[in-house]
Amino acid sequence: MELLEKQKVIAYLNEMPEQFSAEEMIERIFLLSKIERGLRDVEEGRTIPHEDVVAKFRKWQQR
C-alpha cells in the first residue's frame, strides 16, 4: 500500500472546486497516489528507457 503525505492531499483537495462528488475526490486522490509513485520510481531508477519500450512494442506488434 502506498502512503501519501497528508499535507499534499489537503493541498490537492484545496485545488478542487467548492462542490464535488465523493467519486471525483477518490479519483483525484488515486491520481495523486499514482503520480507520487511514479516520481519515486524515477528517483530510485525504476524506469525503462524509451528506446527499450519502443523496441518491445515493435516486437509485440509483429506477433
One-letter amino acid at 13 equals L
pLDDT score recorded for residue 1: 74
Please, what sign has the CA dihedral across residues 27, 28, 32, 38? Answer: positive
Q: Cell numbers at residue 33, please?
A: 497516489
Task: Indicate yes or no: pTM above 0.75.
Answer: no
pLDDT score recorded for residue 2: 76
Per-residue pLDDT for the chain (63 aa), expressed as one digit of tens each? 778 899 988 998 999 999 999 999 999 999 999 999 999 999 999 999 999 999 999 999 998
pLDDT score recorded for residue 63: 83
